[in-house]
Structure 1
Amino acid sequence: MKYLLYLAKWYSVPIVEPLVEHFRTTGRDYRFYVSAKIRREFPQQWDSNLILTDLTAAKAYRPDFVLAPGNFVDFRIPGVKVQLFHGLGVEKPVHYAIRHFFDVFLTSGPYVTGRFRQLQQRWRYFDVIETGWVKLDRILSFPATGLREKYGIPATAKVILYAPTFSSNMQSASDLLPYLKTAMRDGEYWLLKFHEFMPRELIDSFRVLPPDRARIIHNEDITPYLHLADLMISDTSSVVYEFLALNKPVITYRTIDLKNKAYDITDPTLLQTAVVGCLPYPASLRQGRDLAIATVNPYLDCRTAQRITTALEQLDPSHYPKPGKPLNLIRKLQVIFHHNFKKGYLR
């Protein structure tokens, strides 16, 4: 079997890293088809000779499977189109949007699988396979020793990680900013990690926070900071589940679903009280976390990459696309437009 990793945004890189390592160590045939930005910042540990530099090369490679963490994939590339998902944003309706590019959806756990099975009853042309979300392989196996020294975090400080979503109608940043400074206490160090799609002016407004107590993170990979932090504050962001996988407490602001997974507040003035109450990680939060993980992504064994290849290699690529897959002309035209007029940008 031949695998093509279709990487449009930089956040796709840490998501597929476990798959790349699995492909490499098991001798599987794989290639990369990436945006110009990823090509410029291609991970040093990956073989850049495996990059297919244009659509002609990708088509000539004739992959059996095209694996994409994003929402779009170029339909002109042959092979079964496989959705890996770019996060665990299970509370957001967009997580369940069917854009008619993908033949197979690899779901993270029963909560997501159930929703996609319902959608499958309507559309019938795609398959749903529960494997777990592959990025968690990387998060759970990440080397966490010496991170405080590496990133200059005080040795005894409690680390609070604030990581909001960028979705304008769900983000907490605007509401919580006025209360962050007063919520900060002695003995704490706050890290602020914003999504790459967050408006720049909103990020800049956080620079008023005291630099001896807070730092804006510019590293695009949040994984080391998940390990550094003792507590996370977020909202509906999928990064909440990445942090919960490490069995640590979370405060959410006006979350939408599975509210017992974290300590949810709807009043920003309660932020400091919530931090004080959650840092000890009370048993009630642990129980809610366990239930959420069991339903959203119970696969914490660092073997999701293996499950993915095992599942895909039981499929016959010649059976795809299945009858009933829509023509999807408007989105296909969007893909062609970006390819022809936004050189180096993958839709």
Structure 2
Amino acid sequence: MSNPPAPARSAAKHYLLYGSERYALAILRPLQVAIRARGDEAAWFFDGPGAEDLTADERLLTVQEVRHWKPLAVLTPGNHLPHFFPGAKVEVFHGFDAGKPRHIYIRGFFDLYCTTGPRDTAQFQALADKLGHFSVAETGWPKLDPFMREIAGPLPPVRQPPVILYHSTFSPSWSAAETLYEEVKRLSRDGRWRWIITFHPKMNPDTVAKFKALQNEHLRFAENDNILELFPQVDLMCSDTSSALNEFLLTGKPVVTYKNRRPGPQLIDIDDPAQFEPAIERALARPPELMTAIRDYANAIHPYRDGRSSERVLQAIDTFLAAGARNRRRKPLNLWRKLKLRRRIGYWGPA
């Protein structure tokens, strides 16, 4: 008597990873790994830069191919995506809340927000309770999965000589790059410290050129798409109101900021370039009260240290779909934003 045939595996689930900037690759690739580990399929769509950096084993779709492929969910770190794509619309965020109000604007495109930690969850859940047209699940941030696995273990001692990462956001009203340029120039020439400089991809090209011109044996300009790659190489970060400083605080290392929009005990914040050097010296000394404040803050914004936030995002989607993929209210019509997005993508077909 022959054995009964093995039950056929259910068809692989489809997930679309949607980006408008190159930074989407670093944020969404850990999700792609988790999707493939489940035996499911991921594909990509870009309406801006990034597609040219996909690898041979990553699949890029056109609008028509997306509609035919029928993803069960579309995931993006941005604040928009096409309403006419199939599947649940899921935001996984492009950074932590750095005090910039736009971080908590609700654009009306999403069914589900996957938040990074208790602080963001509380804000978004309050808005979900009020508006009713989206759900919230706390998952941690997928971008950090490889990073969290890499930095597992005790905090390493400060190098000799110490290495400083200088990073600035691009907005002129928030950036300290021009203000601190002369100090960075001066401090990077005596050899006491090593420097790595990196900027937001939208930084003013003239400012980028000025800092690139400072390169010497003690300072290099890094152009990594994923700033997290630099964090294990340094002992301290100097910044302003960049969301990247929150990611850096998860390492347990200090951050010096200039006129941060939301200062607190987890930062050494200054408002005068003359304070820059003493602030760096204090940060490198790692005073106990500062290190405790950093740990407390890190636990509030991203308590997950297991490197499995991508899996939690996929589970949150499973839960949302199993509950009917519906929220208490319908999303707003959002006609103007939808029209602008159609024009951006060049698609005028049916929804």
Using the size of structure 2 for normalisation, the TM-score is 0.87
Residue in structure 1 matched with residue 51 of structure 2 by the alignment = 39
Q: How many residues align?
A: 327
Note if 1:167 corresponds to 2:171. yes
TM-superposed deviation, 1:36 = 6.4
TM-superposed deviation, 1:105 = 0.7
Residue in structure 1 matched with residue 3 of structure 2 by the alignment = none
Provide the secondary structure at the position in 1 that maps to 2:113. Answer: strand
Superposed CA deviations along residues 34-71 of structure 1, whole A, max 9, x for unmatched, are 34642221135xx23x321x101101111111000111
TM-superposed deviation, 1:203 = 1.4
Note if 1:276 corresponds to 2:281. yes
Equivalents in 2 of 1:206, 1:194: separation in Å? 10
Change (3 A) 1:291 1:143: closer
TM-superposed deviation, 1:90 = 4.0
Change (3 A) 1:311 1:274: same
Equivalents in 1 of 2:98, 2:72: separation in Å? 28
Provide the secondary structure at the position in 1 that maps to 2:43. Answer: strand
Equivalents in 2 of 1:143, 1:284: separation in Å? 22
Task: Let me know the Cα RMSD of the aligned residues.
Answer: 2.1
Equivalents in 2 of 1:210, 1:166: separation in Å? 20
The answer to whether the 8 A contact 1:253-1:265 is kept is yes
The answer to whether the 8 A contact 1:90-1:112 is kept is no
Superposed CA deviations along residues 217-243 of structure 1, whole A, max 9, x for unmatched, are 122221221110111001111111211
Note if 1:62 corresponds to 2:70. yes
Residue in structure 2 matched with residue 23 of structure 1 by the alignment = 35
Superposed CA deviations along residues 274-310 of structure 1, whole A, max 9, x for unmatched, are 1111112221111111111111111121111111111
Equivalents in 2 of 1:161, 1:63: separation in Å? 40
The answer to whether the 8 A contact 2:98-2:246 is kept is no
Where does the alignment leave 5 or more consecutive residues of structure 2 unmatched?
1-12, 153-158
Superposed CA deviations along residues 243-293 of structure 1, whole A, max 9, x for unmatched, are 111111111111122511121111121111111111122211111111111
- For the pair shown, the structure with the greater C-alpha radius of gyration is 2
Change (3 A) 1:207 1:314: closer
TM-superposed deviation, 1:142 = 4.0
Equivalents in 1 of 2:212, 2:32: separation in Å? 37
Note if 1:262 corresponds to 2:262. no
Q: Which residue identity lines up with residue 337 of structure 2 in the other structure?
A: R
Residue in structure 1 matched with residue 125 of structure 2 by the alignment = 117
Note if 1:188 corresponds to 2:193. yes
The answer to whether the 8 A contact 1:136-1:300 is kept is no
Alignment of 1:215-294 (within 5 A): 215-257=220-262, 259-294=264-299
12, 26, 50: which one aligns with 2:24? 12
Where does the alignment leave 5 or more consecutive residues of structure 1 unmatched?
145-154, 342-347
Residue in structure 2 matched with residue 179 of structure 1 by the alignment = 183
TM-superposed deviation, 1:208 = 4.4
Equivalents in 2 of 1:207, 1:84: separation in Å? 33
310, 329, 332: which one aligns with 1:305? 310
Provide the secondary structure at the position in 2 that maps to 1:259. Answer: coil
Provide the secondary structure at the position in 2 that maps to 1:338. Answer: helix
